[in-house]
A and B are shown apart, each in its own frame.
Chain A
Amino acid sequence: MTHLKASLLAGTAFAVALTGAVAAQDVPREDTVIFDIDRTIRDPENFNPFTPGVKRQHGAHQTMWEPLFILNYESGEIEPWLATSFESNDAQDEWTVTLRDGVTWSDGETFDADDVIFSINMALENEGLSEREPATIRAQVASVEKVDDLTVTFSLNSSNPRFILENFANRIFGSFLIMPEHVWSQAGDPATFAFNPPIGTGPYTMTSMATNRAIWDRNDDWWGAASGFMDLPEPMRVIFLESGGEENRAQLLVSNQMDAAQAVTLGTFEAMGFQNPNVIAWFNDLPYAWPDPCARQMEFNTTVAPWDNADMRRAVAMLIDRNQIVNVAYEGTTQPSRTMFVQYGAMDPFIDAVDSAGHAFSASADVEAAQALIEGMGYTMGSDGIYELNGEELTANIHVNSASSEYTRTIDVIVEQLNRAGVNARAVPVENSVFWGEVLPLGGYEMSYSWLSCGSVNEPWASMNRYTNASIAPIGERAPGFNNTGRWDTDATAAYTAIVQDMGTMAVGDPAIPAMVAEAHGYLSAEVPFVPLVQAAKLLPFNTTYWTGWPTAENNYNHPAFWWGSAHQIIHNLEKAE
């Protein structure tokens, strides 16, 4: 121990003795699990999950608030948690959810149908609750009724086979959270209610909050252990700590001051591995990273010549070498996309169906075939190696969000590939807010880097529905929900839409769906309104010094996104390292 540290510790001990101040109850490091948060908790006094801000991912929806269901990304199953089952009527516009018996809030009050009814009605009646989840409830639910203390029935505005998945199963990031009626009914405006101190049904309660960390301590009276649903999780304390950036994450993991960190680059991960062999990731070897749900792609504005021609779009798709993007832009930490979908285990049947039908995209480029397509359109190669038609060069401006080097590096590789093949391409970096606020929704681009087919993780409809002709806005007007921003609207779109809309009425898991996916994807592959590029890489380091049982490709009880509401499963799976 250095003199400095010794003096500081001595000083602290003296000060505590002097003032009589009592520190928060000490929990040994080996009983504490420390997660990373990548944002500041700007308002640590506010626990209203229905308004924007860091109000859930600081541990609240991973430890204190529990979901009704949790989607398993590997099996595709919706696993029960606070609820035990769900079923719909034949029209799938009425859904009945059965709640688990014996659930209590941490203050001892019973969790039952009244809480669900109250929470849903609160979302329906208060437009000020502006987060995605209450907004989705308002768009989909007409009314909710209590059948008995443990049963509620939702009446929807229209048929929706994915109602539970979209609202209550932690499909992406979180789900609609049920709030305690006995607390929220006393609040005034729910949009400004801070819900402090917060309570939940989870196995942890809030101990202390600050702008850079949240401390949650185990509630040994948790209903789940008492009712036999599940053992108490092993960690006595869960801390979510703002690390401050990649370099800090690395230092904290290397020095065992953190157990799970947000994404890092390959170089950082390898450097961490050299210094601390207990640091692991989803895969043991390259690509190491877990793919996040939003696979990367490149959109075409199908109203702008020459990209209004499907052959020209197909040519560009063939010029792109996805393997090279993986190797250069991602240093091997991801995989080429074969279809529009994220490549999770639950998506395999659909991806395989597209592949079997011959509609999957190749990982390597076919420059000769692409050039033949371009030349078939009348273009000739100029002396400078760029195609020309009627004296005009073939150019491609690719808009890219400049907020991350991941995006710009990918587009730089593509620009290089297109230039080498005779297309005078250039990247157009755009500031984040302009990119999401104007370029994409208004169709203000020729080509653009994006992940707009994001949505599907265990069924295909959510992603496929984003490219139908159901609501195509004119260029310059906002594309609803950021869907089909490239305004793909041909006969093929109509045929594609018909299949996808049929699919939309079918139950999740209907055996006819994979074949329909293959047929619909055939239109996408033929007309290429967007080019699937690569899977999105999230290289999440976990530290096994104090805790084992982290989610990995081998121990794949679910995905490793520990800032999502599904992280209850991660915490319950953690075991003390021996």
Chain B
Amino acid sequence: MRELLELLEHDARRPADELAAMLHRSEYEVQQQINQLEKDKIILSYNTLINWEKFGDNTVTSIIEVNLTPEREVGFDAIAERIYRFDEVRTVYLMSGSFDLLVIIEGKSLQDVANFVATRLSTIEGVTATRSHFMLKPYKKDGVIIDNKEHDRRLVVTP
């Protein structure tokens, strides 16, 4: 099961017959396992990592530190939920340290992001402070080096 997940995490488009061969199992069995993993929400979604900068998009990514006042009973969860429901919000983590939530948002422009922070995020009840950082250049994302210059330098045939 772990091996299957690792293969899919690396390349979700791998056909079932190849997966089956690599895992020494039948195609049917692999398909069943994938279905089950999807049903159990262990596999959440199949995404594609896209180099949008290269495509020509100038989206703005902002990483925002958010401080909160926790609520009785639910702690940070209710506020986090209020934040992650916005489409602009890509990622939300509860953090240890000097702030509580790390929020990553994407917008079309600086203005767009600034607006969102000022009018939406800061105004949520329980949010006591925000500090925004703008991402300038991605080098590595989810284990993938964005501009990987390493290539196969081996000779074509060696003993």
Do A and B bind?
Answer: no
Please give the residue numbers on chain A whose beta carbons come within 8 Å of chain B beta carbons, in ascending order.
Answer: none
